[in-house]
Amino acid sequence: SSKVTQDPAVSVALGQTVKITCQGDSLSTSSTTWLQQKPGQAPVLVIYGQDNRPSGIPDRFSGSISGDTASLTIFGPQAEDEAVYFCVSRDKSGDQWVFGGGTKLTVL
């Protein structure tokens, strides 16, 4: 089965730009979804279909993909963006999904 890898933790200064990445051998053939999870809460969808934002998600969140690496970029993150971010993508088999291990974002 496919494996999707994320850096465990990333930090960024308030207002700077941060890129959170997700690497996996199935990513180039499947759209990647990005979820935000804050402590004690259910995950929230922030990016789907590579670079689409649900209503209510600020436009500072953006998604992209290059080769086998998908990225979530946050332009000028705010304190409330501090959370764990998970990517999820379709498995190589095409009928299952696999989550990345999550990246804990700290906004300094």
Partner 1 sequence: QVQLVQSGPEVKKPGASVKISCKASGYIFTSNYIHWVRQAPGQGLEWMGIMNPSGDSTKSAQKFRDRVSMTRDTSTSTAYLVLSSLTSEDTAMYYCARDKEVVIVPARGWLDSWGQGTQVTVSS
Residue 106 DSSP label? E
Q: Strand 4-6's sheet: what is its strand order?
A: 4-6, 17-24, 69-75, 61-66
3-state secondary structure of 4: strand
3-state secondary structure 35-93: EEECCCCCCEEEEECCCECCCCCCCCEEEEEECCEEEEEEECCCHHHCEEEEEEEECCC
Nearer to partner 1 (CB atom), residue 17 or residue 29: 29
Exactly one of 71, 89, 105, 107 binds partner 1 (CB under 8 A); which one?
89
Residue 96 within binding range of partner 1, rule CB under 8 A: yes
x/- map, 37-56, partner 1, by CB under 8 A: x----xxxx--xx----x--
Residue 86 within binding range of partner 1, rule CB under 8 A: yes
> Residues 56 to 85: which contact partner 1 by CB under 8 A?
none
x/- map, 7-26, partner 1, by CB under 8 A: --------------------
For partner 1, the binding residues (CB under 8 A) are 1, 30-31, 33, 35, 37, 42-45, 48-49, 54, 86, 88-90, 95-102
